Chain A
Amino acid sequence: MKAMISLEINGEVHEVAVAPHATLLQVLREDLALLGAKKGCDTGGCGCCTVMMDGEAVYSCMVFAMTAPGKKITTIEGLQQNGKLDPLQEAFIETGAVQCGYCTCGMILAAKSHLSSHPSPSDQEIRQAIAGNLCRCTGYQKIVDAIRLVSVGR
């Protein structure tokens, strides 16, 4: 049976009717047309569905939507401020850290979450921060370059 819940996504409150098994990823993509979070493995192994909940990176394919009320959810659509891309998004463009693009939104949100508590990560820490995100195009180096570009003092 579906139930009405309210979700705070990118600062906006949405009322949605969700089934008991519905994941946050399904609600984002299918009910709210927020298509930044991608469906990849759908079992928490690839990272392309990564969003932030209360600032922490999570696999939205594993979050039951019913558990998300009361959390502040941030998707890639919510990173821009007044039409201006987040510096991390700009860094991905500047370093060419995108090829097919399927992993990119998850990569950026995993990195964004890590940088918020660790603003000056070493390259090793950057690699650990994105260890839960797979990229099959870039070989990761340009992604690490992009994240380093916005790391404070590096």
Chain B
Amino acid sequence: MPLSEVKEFFVPQEAGEVAALLARFGNRAVVLAGGTFLHGLAARGLLHGVDAFIYLGKAGLSYVKQVDGVLAVGAMTTFTELGSAEPVRNLPALGAIKDALQYPPAQIRNMATVGGCVASASPLFDLPVAFLALDGTVKALGPKGEREIALRKFYLDYFEHALEKNEFLTQVRLPKAAARSASAFLKLDTNANDLALLNVGVCVTLDASGNCRDVRVALGGGIGKIPVRAAACEAVLNGQRPTRERVSESAQVVSSDIHTVSDHRASAQYRTAAARVLVKRALGRALSRLGVEVN
């Protein structure tokens, strides 16, 4: 449907008002954050039966807070705002976020929002992969109140997420990281406005003896319908010393964790080969942030 068929535009002043409007409109309303994804959807004929936009811009959802080590990011926070938050600029544990925000051009960073990016449920976006590597969760608000959903269980299928039709995403939460933790993110693309051909987020923690624990490797881009965790990669490193050989071995087995797809932008074989390289480099970058050089 063309966007011109949309009849109403609501600007609620608080989150509760958003929930009330959703209860009234259900699937006939689109919750609008930055809006950078919406025009692409409409242009491709992927938007149907929308009577109303509910704009989150005035609902008090633009913030980045750190409470007891947990980073809470309001759904309406722009990429620029997230990137300039002190913890994101300075903490090695949040390096994956800092990395992921380097890719989009300024015009997108200034408008695109954290909540919109996650709730769009596109497998080609970057921040969800970084958040998955950081074991993030999301908060949703609906008629039954608020609930928290692990990002690992949030994505169900292509453009499908675990939100009920009357719920909307209010916050992304990243748990407190252990003392010696660092993360990193890398994206394979062809230009500044490109969606990922492949992207990788990793997080590594070193224990007192310098061995890896709680390793998380997440991939997105052209690897199927949702971003995934790479259990085989993680298993190779967990409990082990992060040597160059071990990191290479971990990166090699990523092919057993993912099912790359072929499309007009890249073949599955190319994506698989690239995944091995990107996982190795991303692990190297995260370890480097912990003072361990493996590349």
User: A residues bordering B, Cβ < 8 Å?
Assistant: 1, 3, 19-21, 23, 42-45, 47, 50, 53, 56-59, 61-64, 66-67, 110, 113-114, 128-129, 131-133
Q: How far is the CB of B189 from chain A (nearest CB, A)?
A: 11
Q: Which 9 A-B pairs have the closest CB atoms?
A: A132-B105, A131-B192, A21-B3, A20-B9, A56-B110, A132-B107, A66-B9, A59-B107, A131-B105
Structural contact, A67 and B193, CB atoms closer than 8 A: no
Q: Which residues of B contact A42 (CB under 8 A)?
A: 39, 43
Structural contact, B7 and A56, CB atoms closer than 8 A: no
Q: Which residues of A contact B43 (CB under 8 A)?
A: 42-43
Q: Which residues of A contact B9 (CB under 8 A)?
A: 3, 20, 64, 66
Q: Which residues of B contact A59 (CB under 8 A)?
A: 36, 107-108, 111
Structural contact, A113 and B40, CB atoms closer than 8 A: no
Closest to A114 in B: B106
Q: Which residues of B contact A128 (CB under 8 A)?
A: 192
Instruction: Please count how many residues in chain B sit with their CB below 8 Å of the partner chain's CB atoms.
Output: 32
Structural contact, B40 and A44, CB atoms closer than 8 A: yes
When each residue 91-120 of chain B gets 1 if its CB lies under 8 Å from chain A and 0 otherwise, what string results? 000000000000011111011000000000
Structural contact, A43 and B107, CB atoms closer than 8 A: no
Structural contact, A129 and B107, CB atoms closer than 8 A: no
A-B contact pairs, 21 of them (CB 8 A): A3-B9, A20-B6, A21-B3, A43-B43, A44-B40, A44-B193, A45-B193, A50-B107, A62-B34, A62-B111, A63-B35, A64-B9, A64-B53, A66-B9, A66-B11, A66-B55, A128-B192, A131-B192, A132-B105, A132-B107, A132-B193
Closest to A46 in B: B193
Closest to A51 in B: B107
Q: How far is the CB of B2 from chain A (nearest CB, A)?
A: 8
Q: Which residues of A contact B110 (CB under 8 A)?
A: 53, 56-58
Structural contact, A62 and B36, CB atoms closer than 8 A: yes
User: Which of B39, B52, B53, B105 is the one whose CB lies under 8 Å from A43?
Assistant: B39
Closest to A52 in B: B110
Q: Does B200 contact A (CB under 8 A)?
A: no
Structural contact, A110 and B55, CB atoms closer than 8 A: no
Q: How far is the CA of A110 from the CA of B53 in the complex (A)?
A: 28
Q: Which residues of B contact A20 (CB under 8 A)?
A: 6-9, 52-53
Q: How far is the CB of B228 from chain A (nearest CB, A)?
A: 27
Structural contact, A19 and B4, CB atoms closer than 8 A: yes
Q: How far is the CA of A128 from the CA of B106 in the complex (A)?
A: 8
Closest to A113 in B: B106
Known contacts A45-B193, A63-B111; is A129 also within 8 Å of B106 by CB?
A: yes
